């Protein structure tokens, strides 16, 4: 009689990890995704048309930033920051 668990056993031998929750899925996928985002950000130099775009671009990061933080740190008006982000 053939062993029914031979497929799963071979996956475990190959280094498979248990994914038993949404959190464990994110733990596995996010580091790789984060590295790809960093590499993409480093390899792509955007075309920035004016000083406002440059100020805001260099204030942005992979982590989220509140628009109020961008306004405060760019010394631009709320209208200018909003229009630039669009």
Along the 86 residues of the chain, how does pLDDT read in single tens digits? 566 777 888 888 898 888 888 777 878 878 777 777 666 666 666 788 888 888 888 888 767 789 999 999 999 999 999 998 88
| The two three-digit tokens of residue 15, written as one number | 């280094």
Q: What is the pLDDT of residue 69?
A: 92
Which pLDDT score, from 0 to 100, does residue 9 have? 83
Q: What sign for the dihedral angle of Cα 73, 74, 79, 82? A: negative
Residue among 86, 29, 39, 28 nearest 62 (CA): 39
**Where exactly are the structural domains of the chain?**
12-85
């Amino acid at each position: 009689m053939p062993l029914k668990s031979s497929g799963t056993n071979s996956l475990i031998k190959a280094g498979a990890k248990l994914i038993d929750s949404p959190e464990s899925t994110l733990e596995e996928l996010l580091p790789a995704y984060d590295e790809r985002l960093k590499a993409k950000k480093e390899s792509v130099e955007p075309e920035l048309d004016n000083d406002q775009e440059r100020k805001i671009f260099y204030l942005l990061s992979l982590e989220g930033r509140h628009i109020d933080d961008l306004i405060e740190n760019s010394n631009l008006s709320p209208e200018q920051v909003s229009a630039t982000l669009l």
